[in-house]
């Protein structure tokens, strides 16, 4: 393997891992409740379906007919009670309404205090994502230094690769910051 492909492999691996960290942060942000109904709030809930833990998205379809209403339509009407129980035990703080066919979740407007608490939660999740990005950068830097130590790359190539890695890290941190700003705005919007 030549120097460029070794460097490319390390940077490509870092880009992939950083992309996954950003995608994870995006999923975490989506699960934080705003004043609007969204399937992302419940689709990963674990439901005890005939003795097996199953994600709600595999048991039901979702629709949002109004901004504050989420309708869950179970594929199997026998799962209705289990789905209701999972929603009640979740940290959503919403009581499901059931008419025998669908489950309705009515999201009350958030209080100002609750909005501020959720902003703190989102900021914490964003910081966790930044820490994950820095951890990927640290691992890549360690790999690059090992390549230089083994004589596979020169110190100039190491320096150039570290600058590329730094630029990559800044791009992904900026993406996290953009997502955080958007979610904050969404939470504080009344």
What residue segments make up the domains of the chain, in order of their start?
A: 3-31+111-188, 39-106
CA distance 188 to 29: 14
Q: Please give the pLDDT value at position 43.
A: 79
Spell out a b/e string for 58-81, using b for 16 or more CB atoms within 10 Å of the CB, else e. ebbebeeeeeeebbbebeeeebbe
Q: What is the DSSP letter of 36?
A: S
pTM score, two decimals?
0.72
So what's the architecture of 39-106 in CATH? 2-Layer Sandwich (3.30)
* Bridge partners of residue 63, in order along the sequence: 71
65-104 confidence digits (pLDDT tens):
988 888 999 998 888 999 998 888 887 778 888 888 899 9
Domain 3-31+111-188 falls in which CATH fold? Topoisomerase I; Chain A, domain 4 (1.10.132)
Per-residue tokens: 161: 């690769």
Q: Are 168 and 61 in contact (CB under 8 A)?
A: no
Can you read off the two tokens belonging to residue 150? 């083994």
């Amino acid at each position: 393997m030549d120097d460029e492909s070794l460097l490319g492999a390390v940077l490509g691996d870092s880009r992939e891992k950083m992309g996954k960290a950003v995608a994870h942060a995006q999923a975490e942000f989506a699960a934080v409740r705003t004043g609007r109904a969204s399937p992302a709030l419940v689709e990963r809930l674990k439901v005890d379906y005939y003795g097996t833990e199953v994600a709600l998205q595999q048991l039901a379809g979702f629709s949002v007919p109004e901004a504050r209403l989420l309708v869950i339509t179970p594929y199997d009407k026998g799962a209705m009670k289990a789905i209701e129980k999972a929603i009640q035990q979740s940290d959503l703080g919403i009581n499901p309404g059931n008419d025998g066919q669908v489950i309705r979740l009515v999201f009350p407007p958030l209080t100002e205090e609750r909005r501020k608490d959720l902003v703190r939660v989102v900021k914490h999740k964003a910081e966790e994502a930044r820490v994950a990005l820095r951890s990927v950068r640290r691992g890549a830097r360690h790999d690059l230094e090992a390549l230089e130590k083994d004589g596979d790359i020169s110190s100039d190539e190491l320096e150039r690769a570290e600058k590329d890695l730094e630029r990559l890290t800044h791009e992904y941190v900026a993406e996290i910051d953009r997502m955080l700003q958007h979610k904050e705005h969404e939470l504080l919007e009344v």
